[in-house]
Structure 1
Amino acid sequence: MANVVKPAVLVAASTSSRAAALFGHLPQADVFHSPDADTLLRETRLRPPDVLVLYTDLPSSVALSEVLGILKSREDLANTRFLAVGSQGLGALLSAGADALMSDSTAPEALAFLISTLLGRVRQQRELAERNLGLLKKLDAWEHEERVRDQLVHMLVHDLKNPIAAVMGLLEIVEEDERLPQDMKELVHLSREETQHLLHLSVNMLDVRKIQAGKMNLDFELMFSPMYTEVIDLARGDVGAGLRERRLTIDVAPNLSPARADPGILRRIFANLLSNAMKHTTKDGKIEIKVLKVAEDVQFTIRDNGEGIPADDIPNLFAAFEQSRLTLHGRFDTGMGLAFCKLAIEGHGGRIWVESVRGKGSTFTFILPLARDEEDDDDFAELVS
């Protein structure tokens, strides 16, 4: 069994009887005596005390307030509590940093009780310091894991994006070759779709990490009705050929008041929501996109008539690595696409939600706030000039 080190109480007084009087009342501590200031300074370096009892009659070549100031400035005594005892000069010691004052006529039992209280505070402070140290170590470990995760995500995107794009290009060339039998063309087409999906997964992982780390800067522009139509058309191309097998309708209200948005990020949001709708609908399934003004927001809805989402899955649907357990195509997904949408929309000052009925489809809705006139006069003047 390991030896338990008792706390140390150092009594600095002109006579050892001061320490002897306390010895029997502090069985939980080791009580020592220092006869003068010079000895006190040496002994505190050999064993820093938990409580230092400083009597005002201690022989010293300098003022005891200066001695206490020296002791208080030492890092190795940061946890020490200082108790000044005497009949005069206590005010100067209090100003120098004494934690408590007592009269030298105080009974040893009462003095020992106060010292025990100070020892308890020292113990609590050390426990808190150890707990904080443990938390700091955990924080360092977490930050290290985050850095490793970030490096892995960057590797996935930057090192794999170009090869994936090259594979997609080669598959497109092969698919367009007239000599290829029809059944092989269908396989190549499927390979292109899955390769496109893989590219979306990797890019979404990177973007979610960037937004969470506050490293993605949004390039806001004033956006009007024709720009929403253009962004949606670009997003359709990003989703892939499978979208052509769905019945897609787009309804953008004319003359919408402008909203501030990043067109590139908005394109990614639509691509992810369209991809999600396509994943949960069959061939010839219906997907509707509507853009209109609601109160002080521009509202975007993407509705499908697919399988719907179980109610138990909806609360966590926008969390990374979460997805609906039901999918018509059995395709694995990290859930990063919807997580990206939520973070990106919130970065615009908007919000997103979903409504779904099992077997009747889902409706994803998000809103972006309209631009405020006082912020956008200069942008509008530049746009129309």
Structure 2
Amino acid sequence: MLEKPVILVAARDPARAMSLEHALQGADVRHVGDAEALLRETHLVSPDVVMVYTDLPSKVALGEVLTMLRGRSELVHTRWVAMGTQGLGPLLQAGADALMSDTTSTEAITYQLRTLLDRSRASREQTERVASLQRRLDTWEHEERVRDQLVHMLVHDLKNPISAVMGLLEVVEDDETITQESRDLLRMAREETHHLLHLSVNMLDVRKIQAGKMKLKPEFIFAPQLAEIVEQARGDVGVGLKDRHLRIELPQEIPALSADPEILRRIYANLLSNALKHTTTGGVITVRAVPQGAELLCTVRDDGEGIPAEDLPNLFAAFEVSRLTLHGRFDTGMGLAFCKLAVEGHGGRIWVESVRGQGASFFFSLPMEMDTEDDDFADLLI
């Protein structure tokens, strides 16, 4: 239920307030008989409208009183009306919102007051909405800080033990005394552990890029370095690629590409991992790079099940994955989100083309020259 609007009538004659009480029955109309009473009353209540008559008894100039009142933050929504036939100039200079003659009819005064009451209420509601939005923003920022701290703690606390588990699994897998069946299980365990490491690191890096903390360390990359980066990314993905036919088609020469080699390696690793998840044993994955003008056009294509058209628009968003998959592994979609943010951080672009049942092609282009920004990527220990 809305509170009654408060109107203070600051006048020598209390009858001026009484006449308004009958005309404005939905308002709380109060009379104050001098400037000192006006100062006291406005400390107790924040009125919606104050009518200041020029005949109000005061020990100081009414203009100074009004100036002092308008400077108080709790009265920022109050509307001030100067009433009289003379002496209105100082009140106008002090910031009165309206001027009216003290001979104005009650009907005309009532109409003007209702307009000012509406403005005062609208101003209060607007301030309350802004305050509510600010509280929500503060809560969201707090939750974001807590989430970032948790993600950071999660990655850094899990990265070393996960890496240790991977190393131990590799040692046990090399033991010649274990059976082939056990060796296959160990290989699967190592792949899943590797996948867990990628998930956690991608999650941290996506958060960092979104926060604008990207720090690229560009180097000049030529064809031999590009081939080495692709080979390193191939190793990052793991032994699962051994069950797929990987075709690498890279040019013998390319103009100097200015890019962060570690981040480019991560982009390729994530796209290769994504292709691996969407192809069956014996499937074909093709990695290609072709200079096109001032850009290097890179492609990672698979001949898997393809991506439904309705999934394409949001494919590069975190926690968005295609609903049509050949694997049962949980995925956050952070890998593709990382690729998009990292490619765009280089000044490039990334997109996908796919027909259901005919595989998918992920394209990304990198300019031969780029500007760098600051960021701090998590180290991926393998």
Structure 2 counterpart of 1:273: 271
Separation in 1 of the partners of 2:220 and 2:19?
82
Separation in 2 of the partners of 1:233 and 1:309?
26
Q: Select between 219-228 and 188-197 the one with higher mean Cα deviation.
A: 219-228
Structure 1 counterpart of 2:380: none
Separation in 1 of the partners of 2:37 and 2:5?
20
Could you report, residue by residue, the CA deviation over 1:227-258 in whole angstroms, capped at 9, with x for unpaired residues? 22221121111111111222222222243233
Alpha-carbon spacing, 1:361–1:24, altered in 2? closer, same or farther (3 Å): same
AA partner of residue 106 (structure 1): T
Structure 1 counterpart of 2:205: 207
Structure 2 counterpart of 1:230: 228
How far does residue 152 in structure 1 lie from its aligned partner after superposition?
Answer: 2.4
Note if contact 1:222-1:371 (Cα within 8 Å) is conserved in structure 2.
no
- The alignment status of 1:366 with 2:364, answered yes or no, reads yes
Q: Select between 235-244 and 162-171 the one with higher mean Cα deviation.
A: 235-244
Q: Select between 269-278 and 126-135 the one with higher mean Cα deviation.
A: 126-135
Structure 1 counterpart of 2:320: 322
The 3-state SS of whatever aligns with 1:366 is: strand
Note if contact 1:56-1:84 (Cα within 8 Å) is conserved in structure 2.
yes
How many aligned residue pairs are there?
372
Separation in 2 of the partners of 1:204 and 1:266?
14
The 3-state SS of whatever aligns with 1:88 is: coil
Separation in 1 of the partners of 2:324 and 2:196?
20
Note if contact 2:248-2:286 (Cα within 8 Å) is conserved in structure 1.
yes
Note if contact 2:9-2:50 (Cα within 8 Å) is conserved in structure 1.
yes
Separation in 2 of the partners of 1:90 and 1:261?
71
The 3-state SS of whatever aligns with 1:33 is: strand
Q: Report the aligned-residue RMSD.
A: 1.8
Unaligned runs of 5+ in 2: 373-382
Separation in 2 of the partners of 1:76 and 1:325?
55
- The alignment status of 1:86 with 2:84, answered yes or no, reads yes
Structure 1 counterpart of 2:282: 284
- The alignment status of 1:42 with 2:30, answered yes or no, reads no
Structure 1 counterpart of 2:249: 251
Structure 2 counterpart of 1:33: 31
Structure 2 counterpart of 1:128: 126
How far does residue 68 in structure 1 lie from its aligned partner after superposition?
Answer: 0.5
Structure 1 counterpart of 2:139: 141
Separation in 1 of the partners of 2:148 and 2:184?
37
AA partner of residue 207 (structure 1): D
Structure 2 counterpart of 1:171: 169
Runs of 4+ in structure 1 displaced over 4 angstroms?
none
The 3-state SS of whatever aligns with 1:23 is: helix
Which protein, 1 or 2, shows the higher relative CO under an 8 Å CA cutoff with sep ≥ 6?
Answer: 2
The 3-state SS of whatever aligns with 2:324 is: coil
Could you report, residue by residue, the CA deviation over 1:3-24 in whole angstroms, capped at 9, with x for unpaired residues? x642111111122222223222
| TM-score w.r.t. length of structure 1 | 0.92
Structure 1 counterpart of 2:16: 18
Q: Select between 255-264 and 195-204 the one with higher mean Cα deviation.
A: 255-264
Separation in 2 of the partners of 1:371 and 1:234?
23
How far does residue 207 in structure 1 lie from its aligned partner after superposition?
Answer: 0.8
Could you report, residue by residue, the CA deviation over 1:299-350 in whole angstroms, capped at 9, with x for unpaired residues? 1111111221222222221111111123223222111101111111112221
Separation in 1 of the partners of 2:355 and 2:125?
54
Separation in 2 of the partners of 1:255 and 1:94?
79
Separation in 2 of the partners of 1:340 and 1:38?
66
Counterpart pick for 2:49 among 44, 51, 66: 51
Separation in 2 of the partners of 1:131 and 1:291?
53
The 3-state SS of whatever aligns with 1:214 is: coil
Unaligned runs of 5+ in 1: 377-385
How far does residue 69 in structure 1 lie from its aligned partner after superposition?
Answer: 0.7
AA partner of residue 255 (structure 2): S
Structure 2 counterpart of 1:221: 219
Q: Select between 32-41 and 192-201 the one with higher mean Cα deviation.
A: 32-41
Separation in 1 of the partners of 2:355 and 2:28?
73
